[in-house]
Structure 1
Amino acid sequence: MGPAATLEALLKERVGQLVGSELRAIEDEISGALDSPVPLIREMGGYIAGAGGKRLRPILLLLSARMAGYRGPR
């Protein structure tokens, strides 16, 4: 494993320790919002939600809130 991969793994682990449960709650909300009785909409929503890069903003929000001292359910 190269230095970049090692750093990435370390960051993922540390972020998971800090905001993992809150991030899972956000992902559950997103999944619920994308639920639809229309199969095509469900399929497209799953594709969009599963694509990379959709977690950075929620992670930054959660980390910023924590740095500002916020500790709440939402």
Structure 2
Amino acid sequence: MASPHRNERLQRRPAPTGLVVRNDAETYEVEVSKALNQWAVTVTSVADGRMICQDFFSRRWEAVARAEDFVRLLNRSEPPPGW
């Protein structure tokens, strides 16, 4: 009996999707999404929907790491040095 093809044996994983995270005060939203064949990190203001910044990465893990950095900065009670 022939063994099944590799694709038939393994379940296909769904493509990785983006995520949306808000800071603790829920004033800003940080989104990781697929855009222009890259991963985009977008920070928007929840109150007026204004885009604060956007950055693009070729790898999803880099975009998720940058999104976590943004949330960490937005959750600070004091501004970072130099602001």
Question: 1 or 2 for the larger relative contact order (CA 8 Å, sep ≥6)?
Answer: 1
Common topology (TM > 0.5): no
Larger Rg: 2
With the length of structure 1 as denominator, give the TM-score of the two structures: 0.34
With the length of structure 2 as denominator, give the TM-score of the two structures: 0.31
Structure with greater strand share of residues: 2
Structure with greater helix share of residues: 1
